[in-house]
């Protein structure tokens, strides 16, 4: 039987990020992936000279952990920044036309998107009292603080387009934690933004928006190939058994069953698969996981000649409110965002359909998906011809829906895990769905595991490094934690 320090079940971005941080610290790490490739939903595809992304298309980072990973994984030279002018505008579908969406409160007040009544309601935000409720939906929170117009014209399309969620059901605490924190600390979103600008103007981290040459697959490939990570594809976890000093895990593989002993196990699979694995260990935990729903999303990539698109494409793309489009939630202008996404003289437009707003779209055939997409895009972007390249990516369970009393559910999951200290759940239903969130959460779980006990392999690595540098080091949990910071 093989023995490792940490076994990670699931080779998507959550599992690979956790593995990278752990292996970097000297632990022996094995990753089981049921499929034939790692990366989960993240996959970059070249087709007819176009580079398309099956899922995440970029990283929006303001966290130092992510910047550290990029440097130490050797990914800095592979990053591609947004093209000049790509951040100039973000559009909103409004009354059948694309309108520039204001991104700051001051700009929102003078924007023609809002009625006079909507602007006055927005200006009243500093005088609105807190509700005192721990669980509000996004719709309830935004309507109470900023008014119905801001919800319908800005926040609902954001929640539907980027999270595939329903603003009426989505938990504000889970989806908008930073806005809720401003209200709780300062009593007002506007006051909180102002105070933060005054106090942190010189120290606030700017957002770094980037992808990679070769697409987002470059990231997962770099993580999977990092030294110290033993990635095993075609390994489907079947059973987890608690032992005196850790775990015994059994996987089905193309060559028969395989058993591994590990001190810690990270389950980095979607919630339904995680529920099946932990059910024999803790039925209440499994039930909490089974209660997490997922929204379906279909992605339609279209490649066209640049002169067949009348719109200037002077921005990132657009979002579509529910009142404007029942099925299409947004469209990214990928060739305007990053280089090498389309051949010279061509453009790549990526549309998102479905989500919690229109789950029925998951059942549409390819022809209907393309027809519906271009029925919406043609008048908006002045399209003069059909696309020369079309690619469709389907996700039956695209993103977890942070619906209902989601924070209470997460707190209950955390409480159940306290009884199983060497078992960890790390996936996008906990801590955020973005690539940035997954990299940061991977760092956090690695820190917890490293602090859980004294690891001989880590101490040995530290001792070797100390001998090579000619220095003496005191090895304790405190010094180890300091060295990892």
What tokens were used for 453? Answer: 């006990």
Taking the C-alpha atoms of residue 144 and residue 428, their distance in angstroms, rounded to an integer, is 28
The pLDDT score that the predictor gives to residue 88 is 64
Q: Are strands 246-253 and 256-267 parallel, antiparallel or unpaired?
A: antiparallel
Same domain, 38 and 165: no
End-to-end CA distance of the chain: 34
Per residue in 413-466, pLDDT (tens digit) is 999 999 998 999 999 999 999 999 999 999 999 999 998 765 665 555 554 554
Confidence band, pLDDT 50/70/90 cuts, at residue 244: confident
Residue 125 included in any domain: yes
**Residue 483, in any domain of the structure:** no
Q: Is 439 inside any structural domain?
A: yes
CA angle at residue 285 from 237 to 55, to 5 degrees? 60
Identify the CATH number of the domain in which residue 138 sits.
1.10.3110.10
342 shares a domain with 320 = yes
What is the rounded CA–CA span in Å between residue 223 and residue 21? 9
In this predicted structure, what is the pLDDT of residue 129? 83
371 and 444: one domain?
Answer: no
Q: Is residue 115 part of a domain?
A: yes
State whether 109 and 258 are in the same domain.
Answer: no
- Report helix, strand or coil for 389: strand
Domain assignment present for residue 395? The answer is yes
- Residues 279 and 262 reside in one and the same domain: yes
pTM: 0.89
Give domain status of residue 185, yes or no: yes
pLDDT single digits (tens) 83-141: 886 666 889 999 999 998 876 666 767 778 888 898 888 888 888 888 777 789 999 99
Q: Give yes or no: residues 310 and 429 share one domain.
A: no
174 and 309 in a single domain? The answer is no
Domain membership of residue 466 (yes or no) is no
Listed residues 400, 419, 434: the one ending a domain: 400
CATH number of the domain at 225, please. 3.50.50.60
Q: Which residues contact 190 (CB under 8 A, 6 or more apart)?
A: 105, 125, 126
Averaged pLDDT of the chain: 89
Same domain, 192 and 224: no
Give yes or no for a contact between 82 and 170, defined as CB atoms under 8 angstroms apart. Answer: no
381 with 316, same domain: the answer is: yes
SS3 307: helix
Domain, as residue range, for 27: 2-42+215-292+403-452
**Half-sphere exposure (CA, 13 Å, Cβ side) for 452?**
22
> What CATH number did the domain enclosing 309 receive?
3.90.660.20
Rounded to 5 degrees, what are φ and ψ at 311?
-70, 145
**Chain segment 437-448, per-residue pLDDT in tens:** 999 999 999 999
């Amino acid at each position: 039987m093989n023995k490792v320090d940490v076994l990670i079940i699931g080779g998507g971005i959550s599992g690979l990020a956790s593995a990278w941080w752990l292996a970097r610290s000297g632990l022996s790490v094995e990753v089981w992936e049921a499929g034939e490739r790692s990366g989960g939903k993240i996959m970059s595809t070249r087709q007819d000279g176009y580079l398309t992304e099956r899922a995440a298309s970029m990283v929006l980072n303001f966290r130092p952990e992510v910047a550290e990973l990029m440097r130490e994984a050797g990914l800095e030279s592979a990053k591609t920044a947004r093209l000049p002018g790509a951040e100039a505008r973000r559009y909103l579908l409004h009354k059948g036309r694309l309108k520039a969406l204001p991104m700051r409160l001051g700009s929102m007040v003078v924007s023609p998107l809002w009625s006079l009544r909507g602007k006055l309601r927005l200006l009243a935000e500093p005088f609105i009292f807190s509700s005192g409720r721990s669980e509000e939906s996004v719709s309830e929170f935004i309507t109470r603080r900023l008014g119905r117009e801001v919800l319908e014209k800005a926040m609902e399309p954001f929640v539907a387009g980027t999270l595939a969620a329903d603003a009426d059901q989505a938990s504000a605490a889970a989806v908008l934690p930073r806005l809720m924190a401003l209200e709780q600390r300062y009593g007002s979103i506007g006051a909180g933004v102002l105070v933060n600008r005054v106090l942190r103007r010189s120290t606030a981290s700017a957002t770094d928006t980037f992808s990679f040459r070769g697409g987002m697959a470059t990231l997962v490939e770099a993580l999977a190939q990092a030294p110290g990570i033993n990635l095993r594809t075609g390994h489907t976890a079947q059973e987890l058994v608690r032992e005196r000093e850790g775990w015994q895990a059994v996987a089905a593989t193309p060559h028969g069953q395989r058993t591994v002993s590990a001190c810690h196990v990270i389950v980095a699979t979607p919630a339904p698969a995680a529920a099946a694995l932990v059910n024999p260990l803790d039925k209440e935990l499994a039930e909490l996981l089974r209660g997490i729903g997922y929204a379906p999303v279909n992605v339609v990539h279209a490649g066209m000649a640049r002169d067949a698109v009348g719109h200037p494409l002077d921005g990132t793309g657009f979002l579509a409110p529910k009142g404007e489009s029942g099925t299409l939630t947004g469209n990214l202008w990928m060739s305007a965002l990053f280089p090498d996404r389309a051949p010279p003289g061509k453009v790549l437009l990526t549309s998102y359909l479905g989500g919690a707003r229109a789950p029925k779209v998951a059942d549409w055939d390819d022809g209907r998906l393309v027809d519906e997409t271009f029925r919406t895009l043609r008048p908006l972007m002045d399209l003069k011809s059909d696309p020369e390249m079309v690619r469709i990516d389907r996700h039956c369970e695209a993103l977890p829906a942070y619906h209902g009393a989601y924070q209470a559910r997460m707190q209950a999951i955390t409480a159940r895990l306290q009884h199983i200290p060497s078992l960890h759940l790390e996936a996008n239903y906990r801590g955020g769905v973005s690539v940035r969130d997954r990299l940061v959460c991977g760092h956090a779980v690695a820190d917890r595991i490293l602090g859980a006990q004294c690891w001989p392999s880590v101490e040995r690595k530290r001792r070797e490094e100390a001998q090579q540098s000619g220095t003496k080091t005191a090895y304790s949990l405190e010094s180890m934690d300091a060295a990892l910071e």
